[in-house]
């Protein structure tokens, strides 16, 4: 049977935030690192790095930069970590390949999505006095622990 993407919702007193568990590693990797899919965009020297271009350019004068409302965490099988943060240029030489990833967590204005090989992603939340979620975070690894007040 083919695995399906799963959707959960983190509900606050202001908004409902979708959290997608992606069934396929390829889809999660694209969301995190491929231009035009989510987190990053190419900018070319041809126009002074002002406007994003749709793909990797042959002239290799482009910069890969994270979108302002996105971020991604790539955890490798050997215990490594690579973070992609807003407004930062991404060093593609240091970025892990898809095959090396054990877990991927991606967030943007549409919500959060994640994929994990071993099921070690945990969602931690804090609640307000009305019982609604006040804050939330996703963490990866068997050592991930809740902070004070989280459940």
b/e 37-51 (16+ beta carbons within 10 angstroms → b) = ebbbbbbbeeeebee
* Residue 151 belongs to some domain of the structure: no
**Is pLDDT larger for residue 24 or for residue 151?**
24
The confidence score (pLDDT) of residue 33 equals 84
* Residue 149 belongs to some domain of the structure: no
The pLDDT confidence band at residue 115, using thresholds 50, 70 and 90, is very high
The pLDDT tens digits of the residues spanning 33-63 come to 877 666 677 777 777 777 777 665 565 556 6
State the residue range of the domain holding 44: 6-140
**Is pLDDT larger for residue 10 or for residue 41?**
10
* Residue 146 belongs to some domain of the structure: no
Pairing verdict, β 111-116 and 16-21: parallel
* Residue 35 belongs to some domain of the structure: yes
- Structural domains of the chain, count: 1
User: Is residue 65 scored above 80 in pLDDT?
Assistant: no
């Amino acid at each position: 049977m083919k695995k399906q993407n799963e959707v959960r919702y983190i509900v606050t007193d202001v908004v409902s935030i979708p959290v997608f568990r992606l069934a396929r590693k390829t889809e999660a990797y694209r969301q995190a690192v491929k231009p035009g899919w989510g987190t990053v965009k190419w900018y070319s020297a041809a126009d002074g790095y002002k406007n994003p271009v749709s793909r990797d350019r042959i002239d290799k004068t482009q910069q890969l930069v994270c979108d302002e409302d996105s971020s991604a965490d790539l955890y490798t099988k050997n215990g490594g970590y690579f973070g992609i943060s807003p407004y930062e240029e991404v060093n593609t030489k240091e970025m892990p390949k898809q095959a090396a990833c054990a877990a991927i967590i991606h967030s943007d204005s549409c919500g959060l999505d994640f994929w994990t090989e071993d099921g070690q992603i945990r969602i931690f939340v804090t609640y307000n006095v009305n019982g609604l979620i006040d804050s939330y975070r996703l963490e990866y690894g068997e050592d991930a622990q809740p902070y004070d007040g989280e459940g």
